[in-house]
Amino acid sequence: MTGRAWGVLFVLCGAIFLEGIDVAMLNVALPAIRDDLDLSTGTLQWVMSAYVLGYGGFMLLGGRAADLFGRRRMFVLWLVVFLLFSGLGGLATEGWMLIVARFVTGVAAAFMTPAGLSIITTGFPEGPQRDKALLVYAGTAAGGFSIGLVVGGLLSAIDWRWVFFAPVILSLGILLAALALIPASPRPDRTGQGVDLAGAVTVTAGILLLVFGVERATHVPAAWTVGTVGTALLLFLAFAVIERASSSPLVRPGIFRSGSLVRANVAGLLFAAGFFGFQFIVVLYLQELRGWSSLQTSFALIVIGVDAVLSPLLTPKLVARFGHARVIFGGLLVASLSYALFLPLGADWTYAAMFPGLLLLGVAFSLVYGPLTIVATDGVAEEEQGVAGGLLYTSFQFGAALGLSAVTAVNITATDGASSAALLDGYRAALVVPLAAALIAAAVSASGLRTRRARADSAPAGGHRAGPERSDAPGGVEQPAGFGS
């Protein structure tokens, strides 16, 4: 890669690092925020949920906007919005001000993230160069989350407002670098490609309601959740009808003919559900049952950040040797082992007992996250790269919301009393959820291995593999064998 290409990648990695560190720092700072602003538990929960709603609800629309209005333009514009509202969050004096700031920050991330990803997937040629760039990008995202846990603990010990002001300083530096290094691209040709307003409204409303319903499932009656989720599903049905009839659909239905893209999104949703659900329960175990401080907990979990090193150094070699499909499948099995090691969780476990499981989870993340990002965008036409990235990050975000709600529901149901033994029973029961999610994700990815093997067996004599399938729709999607190996 040229020096200019490395500079562009550096800027985009800075943006995804910013997104990761922003979320992680806030997680650690929540207790300090509640004490200073005198927030109820419900209001505090909305400080987190508002970001999830904005991020998950607008991600798909953000991806399409990057394709239609220019990736650099969308990236820079929404980076400015991210900067401004992160600063406003630090100035908040009431809970509602913080909630509004976090919602708009989430919306900004929803437009900025797929724009940044699509700059990589369209700026680097498909193959080893793009794979390397995406694996470095994935490792940086993981590093941001891991480092954010520790930095958030340090900053909140000084003043929780610095958890919001620090991203302002970082995003300002990224903005200046983006303006200098990311080349201006020609205005996209939107001839015959109008804005699918009806599709945008229905799918965004559907995702918002679905994430909202899942996030609130443990706080409201079951009938309310069923009604919310049911309404969301009706909106998705309406969206499908609109997209089939539209001459310029927000998401071209033919994109889902790519088996590898669909598998990547389903596996990504399940993997995120397990990963975030597991971390949530471990944090509760360490702080509620063991009495560890936020900073102690942060340092305990930082070992998961080993993926920031492994993603660019080890994963590319494994992908080159075994292919994306096998690496993803292996990573999901490693994640399953990590979660299984925590099932016999004890009331007095030493950190040495926890360390192998946490380390394996970091290894699993390095094997799964980057290759899934590659597969979900591999073979997709350039004008749909933003949509492909938006689909994947929507899957990740909804998976995280689903996982957090599922482990919370199981934990509450299985906890009978306030004793240490009752709390431990709840944690152990909830830890089954991440294990089940990882095993189902592995089964989904295994279907890609079978597809790849079947195509290899059907290759013509002489050992050459049959060429990739193509959608017959305009801007068709190549379907690499299996997970895109």
Model confidence pLDDT, tens digit, residues 316-363: 889 889 988 999 999 999 999 999 999 999 988 999 999 999 999 999
Using the CB atoms, write b or e for 357-396: b if 16+ within 10 Å: bbebbbbbbbbbbbbbbbbbbbbbbebbbbbbbbbbbbbb
Single-letter amino acid, residue 229 = V
Question: Three-state DSSP class for 352?
Answer: helix
In angstroms, the CA 434 to CA 340 distance is 9
Q: Contact at 8 Å (CB) between 156 and 28?
A: yes
User: What tokens were used for 419?
Assistant: 């004793």
Task: Give the pLDDT confidence score for residue 1 in this predicted structure.
Answer: 60
DSSP codes joined into one string, 209-237: HHHHHHHTTTTS-HHHHHHHHHHHHHHHH
CA distances for 173 relative to 15, 168, 182, 220, 277, angstroms = 10, 9, 14, 42, 33
Closest CA to 259 of 97, 71, 126, 454: 454
Crossing angle of the two packed helices 95-123 and 41-69, in degrees rounded to 10: 30
User: Are residues 235 and 203 in contact, defined by beta-carbon separation less than 8 angstroms?
Assistant: yes
pLDDT of residue 195: 66
Query: What is the full per-residue pLDDT of the chain (485 aa) written as tens digits?
Result: 667 788 899 999 999 888 888 888 887 787 788 888 888 766 776 787 788 778 877 888 888 888 888 889 999 999 999 999 999 999 999 989 999 999 999 999 989 998 998 898 888 887 788 888 888 888 888 778 778 878 887 888 788 899 999 999 999 999 999 999 888 766 666 555 566 778 878 888 888 788 778 777 777 788 998 999 899 999 989 988 988 888 778 778 888 888 888 999 999 999 999 998 898 888 889 888 888 887 788 888 888 888 888 888 888 889 889 988 999 999 999 999 999 999 999 988 999 999 999 999 999 998 998 899 888 888 787 778 888 888 888 888 888 878 888 888 888 888 887 788 888 999 999 999 999 999 999 999 998 776 555 554 444 444 443 333 333 343 443 333 333 33
Q: Are 301 and 146 in contact (CB under 8 A)?
A: yes
Q: Give Cβ neighbours of residue 33 (< 8 Å, ≥ 6 apart).
A: 39, 44, 47, 98, 160
pTM of the prediction? Answer: 0.80
| Pairwise CA distance, residues 89 & 98, whole Å | 5
Query: How far is it, in rounded angstroms, from Cα 43 to Cα 49?
Result: 10
Tokens 């933003």: give the residue.
386
**CA end-to-end distance (rounded Å), the chain:** 22
Instruction: Provide the pLDDT for residue 170.
Output: 92
Q: How far apart are CA 441 and CA 275, in angstroms?
A: 12
User: Using the 8-state DSSP alphabet, how is residue 285 labeled?
Assistant: I
CA neighbor of 404 nearest in space, from 284, 321, 286: 284
Residue 130 CA to residue 117 CA, distance in Å, equals: 11
Using alpha carbons, select from 269, 212, 213 the residue that is nearest to residue 437: 269
